[in-house]
Amino acid sequence: MTECFHSPIQRDQAVLGCLLGTAVGDALGLPYEGLSRRRIAKLGTARHRLVLGRGMLSDDTEQSLMLAAALCRHPDDLDEMQRDLGRQLQWWLLALPAGVGLSTAKAIARLWLGIPARKSGVRSAGNGAAMRSVIVGVICSEDATQRRDVAIAACQVTHTDPRAEESAVLVAEAAACSVHGLSNGEAIGRLERHVVSDEMKSRWQRLKSGLKTEQSVMDFAVEIGCGTGVSGFAPNTVAVALYAWLRHRRDFATTVRSVIECGGDTDTVASIAGGISGAEVGEEGIPQEWIEGICDWPRSVSHIRKVAFAVAKSSRKVPHAPWPFVVLRNAFFLAVVLLHGLRRTLPPY
């Protein structure tokens, strides 16, 4: 018998909550990326602070939207879904986005060389695949086999390391548990079936013991070796994101803040944790000022809502951001990131 933590959320609310939660976590975490937890603590409570008190989106949100579109257009054909995602990534890289992961960039270069999407991935256990997999768990929440197959297929476009695949599957599974409102006990049982690597097994034991003693997210991160910040190693990122979600169920704000406070790859950890929590609480559970604080274009909050509507209705026609405008936006975003980096070197940051 399935043990529920709360009633399952409606599909349209779950999809919108997931994509908005991913975007909010991404935008909130981005200004803190690379900072130590001590430095983050000095800055105070996490808020939008990238540019004039507003937030912008990074590759975490962009790739989540790409995968959502590819899966919607090809729900029953993994090969076509991979090719669609690969094509989107190719044009995305040509628009010169800031902060592309090295492994993802290598995989996209292989795509441009004519290597098919099913073979374009590189041997890496980075965060690229896990960060875009939350939406898979929401779209495929009713079919466990499809959920796993899609997560792995989407992962293999850029990453082939078994630990990257494992992390992508765990993220998707957590999102499905969120949608169905499963209790922590039930969710942990389902997630544990997908824990296969030695690295994740050791983190999983600490996760379970930490939940029993109500250990803080920061202390859990320290215990798994992330005392100076959560690294870009997928098992670390996913373990911290899952722990924060399980530790602070249905409390979106605390979930996201707690992972940002850990430092390191804050935008990715916060986007994953935010996407999973958002799928559970819907838009109503996300602080409205955090949603309104995102100032981006053409992948704006309005655009995210349109994508979420298409996904919820299983439409094959998913809105896309016009490529020339994306190029202009990326030039501005790069300038913002460089200025933000310069600001870090000046007091009293």
Note the pLDDT of residue 246.
98
* Cβ–Cβ under 8 Å, residues 152 and 165: yes
* Cβ–Cβ under 8 Å, residues 271 and 29: yes
Phi/psi region, residue 225 (left: phi>0; alpha: psi -120 to 50; beta: rest), is: left
Instruction: List the one residue out of 195, 275, 198 whose CA is nearest residue 22.
Output: 275
With respect to residue 4, please indicate whether it lies within any of the assigned structural domains: no
Q: What is the mean pLDDT of residues 62-68?
A: 98
With respect to residue 138, please indicate whether it lies within any of the assigned structural domains: yes
Residue type, 69: A
Q: Which residues contact 325 (CB under 8 A, 6 or more apart)?
A: 297, 298
Q: Which residues contact 65 (CB under 8 A, 6 or more apart)?
A: 19, 299, 304, 307
Q: What is the mean pLDDT of residues 71-83?
A: 97
Read off the pLDDT band of 5 (50, 70, 90). Answer: confident
Chain segment 301-332, per-residue pLDDT in tens:
999 999 999 999 999 999 999 999 999 999 99
For the cut 60, the answer to whether the pLDDT of residue 209 exceeds it is yes
With respect to residue 319, please indicate whether it lies within any of the assigned structural domains: yes
Domain count, the chain: 1
With respect to residue 142, please indicate whether it lies within any of the assigned structural domains: yes
Residue carrying the six token digits 């399935």: 2
With respect to residue 132, please indicate whether it lies within any of the assigned structural domains: yes
With respect to residue 301, please indicate whether it lies within any of the assigned structural domains: yes
Integer Cα distance of 250 and 152 in angstroms:
27
With respect to residue 1, please indicate whether it lies within any of the assigned structural domains: no
With respect to residue 6, please indicate whether it lies within any of the assigned structural domains: no
Give the CATH number for residue 146.
1.10.4080.10
Note the pLDDT of residue 340.
83
For the cut 70, the answer to whether the pLDDT of residue 1 exceeds it is no
% of the chain residues with pLDDT over 70: 99
Count of C-beta atoms within a 10 Å radius of residue 145: 8
Question: Which residues constitute the domain of residue 102?
Answer: 11-344
CA 334 to chain centroid, in Å, comes to 21
